[in-house]
Structure 1
């Protein structure tokens, strides 16, 4: 099973995400749920770099992708971009869970 953990701050902004495991719906490397979650997360990391112009703390390897950001910035537009991109990973994973079921992907919020 794929587990997606999201750490939220006091303002309900996603501070970090941690996706690990494999959904088990197909042979490793051919799993549509894992591929979708990975694409969502990797696109957000790339967008944090290219759009928000930050260098998030992240790790991506087989069966694991995680990312952490800081909201300790003064640029309001940049803060909105960071919060939106991080929230999009949570939304995308929650949509996968809703579509395919928690047997394959489970999303957990942590405070």
Structure 2
């Protein structure tokens, strides 16, 4: 099973995500749910770098993708971009859970 954990700050912004495991629906490397979650997370990390112009603290390896950001700073446009991109990972993973079931992917919010 793939577990997606999201750490939220007091303003309900995603400060980190941690995706770990494999969904188990197919052979590792051929799983549409894992591929989708991986694509969502990796796109957000790249977008944080290219659009928001920050360097998030992240790790990507077999069976694990995690990312942490900070909401420090005065640039309100940048803070909105960061919150939107990190929130998109949460929304995308929740949609996968709704579509395919918690047997394959489980999303957990933590405060």
What is the TM-score of this pair, normalised by structure 2? 1.00
Say how many residue pairs are matched.
111
Residue aligned with 1:10, SS: coil
User: Shift of residue 70 of structure 1?
Assistant: 0.1
Residue aligned with 1:20, SS: strand
> Aligned equivalents of 1:48 and 1:30: distance in 2?
27
Deviations 1:27-51 (A, max 9, x none): 0010000000000000000000000
**2:21 paired residue number:** 21
List, as ranges, runs of 4+ consecutive aligned residues in structure 1 with deviation greater than 2 Å.
none
Deviations 1:46-95 (A, max 9, x none): 00000000000000000000000000110000000000000000000000
> Aligned equivalents of 1:30 and 1:72: distance in 2?
39
Superposed CA RMSD: 0.2
User: Shift of residue 12 of structure 1?
Assistant: 0.1
Residue aligned with 1:59, SS: strand
Gaps of at least 5 residues in structure 2 are none
What is the TM-score of this pair, normalised by structure 1? 1.00
> Aligned equivalents of 2:109 and 2:49: distance in 1?
24
